[in-house]
Amino acid sequence: MRVTVRLFARLRDLAGAGELVREVPDAATVQTVWTALTSEMPSLAQYEGSMSVAVNAEYARMAVALHDGDEVAFLPPVSGG
């Protein structure tokens, strides 16, 4: 199945793109996508302990199962206001 990956702020800069499309196994979770991304782009891994994740624009956890067409977002610590 296919998912859209959204990256923001410094994660976007590190990846060189804010939106990527990736083919993942049917049983993929958010963790599966993150693991594949960080092996592709090791510099992203520094955010492992500080980022948040979202699926289809709702906050989610790494263990959440994904479905075809889902949008998975990886979010650095926020700094709004």
Quick one: DSSP state of residue 10?
H
Sheet bearing 71-75, strands edge to edge: 19-23, 2-7, 71-75, 52-55, 58-60
> Closest separation between CB of residue 26 and another protein, Å?
26
User: For residues 22-51, which are near another protein according to CB under 8 A?
Assistant: 50-51
65 binds another protein (CB under 8 A): no
Residue 7 and residue 20: Cα distance in Å, rounded? 8
> Closest separation between CB of residue 69 and another protein, Å?
15
19 binds another protein (CB under 8 A): no
